[in-house]
Amino acid sequence: MGGIAMTGVKNVTVSASDQLQEVFRQAQQDRNPVYLYRKPGEHGISLDLSQWNEIEVFDVDNLMAIVPPGLLLKDLNKAAAAKGLRFIPADSPILESLSVGEWAHRGCPNLLSWKYGAGKHFLLGSSYVFPNGEITAVGGKCIKNVSGYDLTRFLTGAYADLAVGVQFVLKLMPQPACRLRYDVEVASLEAASKLAGELQSRPVPPAWLYWADPIAGTKLFGQKQQGQRIIFELDGNEAEVNDYAAAVNKMLTVCKAKNAAVKAKLPDLSYLETKEEGFWLVDEFKIPYPGVSKFAETVKKALKENNWEGGLFGQLADGKINLYVKKADIGTNIFITKLQDQARALGGVSTGKYERVHGAGGSGALAVLEKNFKQCMDPAQIFNRPAGVIK
Q: Is the pLDDT of residue 287 over 70?
A: yes
What pLDDT shows up at residue 20? 97
- Provide the pLDDT confidence category of residue 308 given band limits of 50, 70 and 90: very high
Same domain membership, residue 231 and residue 169: no
Are 199 and 170 part of one and the same domain? no
Q: State whether 27 and 61 are in the same domain.
A: no
pLDDT at 218 over 50: yes
Query: If you average pLDDT over every residue of the chain, what do you get?
Result: 89
Q: Does the pLDDT value for residue 16 go beyond 50?
A: yes
pLDDT tens, residue by residue, 67-76: 999 999 999 9
Residue-level pLDDT at 353: 86
The secondary structure of 316-379 as a DSSP string is: GGGTEEEEEES-S----SHHHHHHHHHHHHTT-EE-SHHHHHHSSS--STTHHHHHHHHHHH-T
Same domain, 229 and 192: yes
pLDDT tops 50 at residue 182 = yes
At residue 362, the pLDDT reads 58
User: Is the pLDDT score of 311 beyond 90?
Assistant: yes
Largest interatomic CA distance in the chain: 66
Identify the domain boundary among 150, 174, 198.
174
- Is a pLDDT exceeding 60 seen at residue 302? yes
Structural domain boundaries, residue 63: 57-174
| pLDDT of 250 strictly over 50 | yes
What number is the average pLDDT over the span 248-276?
92
Model confidence pLDDT, tens digit, residues 134-161:
999 886 555 444 443 467 767 777 787 8
Q: Are 53 and 100 in contact (CB under 8 A)?
A: no
Q: Are residues 61 and 45 in the same domain?
A: no
In degrees and rounded to multiples of 5, residue 145 shows phi and psi of -75, -10
Residue 99 lies in a domain: yes
Instruction: Report how far residue 378's alpha carbon sits from residue 366's, in angstroms, rounded to the nearest whole number.
Output: 17
Mean pLDDT over 54-59 rounds to 96
253: in domain:
yes
> Is 69 domain-assigned?
yes
**CATH number of the domain enclosing 199:** 3.30.70
**What CATH number is attached to the domain comprising 346?**
3.30.70.2740
Residues 43 and 142 in one domain: no
CB 334 within 8 A of CB 321: no
Of 30, 49, 68, at which residue does a domain stop?
49
pLDDT at 2 exceeding the cut of 50? no
Please compute the mean of the pLDDT values over residues 286-295 and round it to a whole number.
Answer: 92
